[in-house]
Amino acid sequence: MSDRIEVLRRIERQYLRDQLGELELQMVDAYVLRLLARQTDALRQEDIAQWIVLDKGSVARSVARLEKRGLIARTVSDQCRREKRVALTTAGADANARISRILDTWNAIRYQGFTEDERFLYESFLERITENVTQYRQGGTHNGQKSH
């Protein structure tokens, strides 16, 4: 592992923790809000956990915190009365807009001095790497070896 990548990630996590802390949000809360903001339909908690690649317990605690603050709403599914769907509220959309501004500022910091082409290349490489490791984590293979 490259030490530079680890340094970048530590500084990024600290920046985001500090900024989100001012909004009284945890990192997982921001992940949930960002995901819900991109969806047209409400999602099941299981779907949220799968999309953001976190365990169901962490997602359940986040959903409970966000619902208590009025940032999301849970409703009973039409298909299964035991299943609840999670959707963003207007207050949640406002919180997501503030999160977007935080991320825009972070991107301005980390991409300072980069051309648009360099930024695009970095983002496309990162997207491919993320797809590879997500597939591996979900039980895919690497060089013919099954993930554990």
Q: Any idea what the CATH number is for the domain that residue 36 is in?
A: 1.10.10.10
- Alpha carbon distance 73, 66 (integer Å): 8
Residue 72 CB burial class (10 angstroms; 0-12, 13-18, ≥19): buried
Per the domain annotation, does 20 fall within a domain? Answer: yes
CA angle 14, 48, 76 (to 5 degrees): 130
Instruction: State percent of the chain over pLDDT 90.
Output: 75
Per the domain annotation, does 125 fall within a domain? Answer: no
Could you tell me the residue range of the domain that residue 48 belongs to? 3-110
- The amino acid occupying position 1 is M
Among 75, 74, 120, 66, residue whose Cα is nearest residue 96: 66
Q: How far lies 141's CA from each of 12, 93, 103, 125, 128, in Å?
A: 30, 38, 33, 20, 15
Residue 147's pLDDT is 55
Tens digit of each residue's pLDDT (9 = 90 or more) over 25-51 = 999 999 999 999 999 899 999 999 999
Q: Are 101 and 112 in contact (CB under 8 A)?
A: no
Per the domain annotation, does 143 fall within a domain? Answer: no
Per the domain annotation, does 91 fall within a domain? Answer: yes
Domain count, the chain: 1
Per the domain annotation, does 148 fall within a domain? Answer: no
Per the domain annotation, does 129 fall within a domain? Answer: no
Answer whether residue 146 shows pLDDT above 90: no
Kindly state the tokens that stand for 61: 């605690």
Per the domain annotation, does 146 fall within a domain? Answer: no
Residue 62 CB burial class (10 angstroms; 0-12, 13-18, ≥19): buried
Among 2, 70, 3, 61, residue whose Cα is nearest residue 27: 61
Instruction: State percent of the chain over pLDDT 70.
Output: 93
Per the domain annotation, does 101 fall within a domain? Answer: yes
Tens digit of each residue's pLDDT (9 = 90 or more) over 88-137 = 999 999 999 999 999 999 999 999 999 999 999 999 999 999 899 988 98
